[in-house]
Structure 1
């Protein structure tokens, strides 16, 4: 089994949603605009940072425009009621151009591994126990003015993120776990701090604040107890998956994940419209179907 920070969060949010997406490999016909937008912004920023390191800075706005146009041409995108292709195009260009203008003032530089390659969108993995591999792709690792290694999570958010989230954010805990495990091989010190670089995707308007790149917010690295607790959580999630525990988790009315779930109509009403099944020739499995509860089979060696 392979688990990532996103997979663990998906299971914690709703085990049934995890089962539909990761177990049955069902996906929406059209990806959500927020996911596509975030990917294109990350691609533009990564390309700009690589050029900045090499002294050949690309036109980051043009890069975003090109990739956004290509993403739209590749197929349908599911836009929220407040979004349009044009509004997101304007917001994205503004954000990446603001990032390029603000970056030199942050006093950060992408960290380089032992081969001189920048740690941008790097995937790492570690075995947690026999048959269970933890794998994650972090956005960016940098070195600050004091020489400390900082793992940054780059977020394209709709509004300001609560700073308290950073102190306990599981994905960053997982990235520290991965980077620390590979530090010697990569020629790096252990992670010194964890951070959030927030790109707020407000609409471009004649008045109002509009899109905004916030200065990085940082906290100290996770301590041994936090790392041990997170590792135990991942092991428990893996055990629940092995045992076929995929209950629905609608939670309370004020914080239910159902409203944002791509599988909501299928889960609640048995309506598969808008979903792509792994085998188009096979009928959609019943929405109530879950892996039967049974003792887990021994995991194969990682």
Structure 2
């Protein structure tokens, strides 16, 4: 509860990217929980707090030193956040995608990162050192829905309704779905993930001030990644909004977040390294 208030304050005072405060926020909760082993997904890129590998390594060192000084085993995985992870951006929309993932509908980037983190955790805890066997264990708990049932338990323990896992229409739903059109023909060269986040604040998917109320139903569906080809005016994605006029304005902003090239662009790696 205290960290939630402190983070809300950081959110509106320009201190979200402070490395010491990030370290304090992450590690205080993990230490309080009594976690003996910790695998951290440290995102780098335009959509992350950390923009480059130099600062990522500084933060990783702070996180590892803090944990190890208090008896924790800590592993940091560096992952690419130059494009939104998965296909959805927004509060209930990302919960929806999580539920779909646990039912076996897995976007390639989410699957790669999730399995990489889970394999490291199985290794760190000594449960399974062999990578192939660890990955097989992860696939099995998704296929047999054990992971989904654990997620239902998490929701119920925190006072939520686990029925959303069986009927996702129970999640907050926006009134309007508005198309985002590709600004040109070409290959996606760059996605300004930070600008996407700022644009969605106009839909109240994030805070503008400390007192701002979050609209959990709003957000966007953005399935295209760097290297994908688009045609001019092709449907680039969808905005979910409760105000049609604002939704259209956000759709126009989101279209401008995509930089296209006439030449083919190589796909970017998702896993950038580890520490």
Compute the TM-score of the two structures, normalised by the length of structure 2.
0.28
Instruction: State which structure, 1 or 2, has the greater radius of gyration over its C-alpha atoms.
Output: 1
Compute the TM-score of the two structures, normalised by the length of structure 1.
0.26
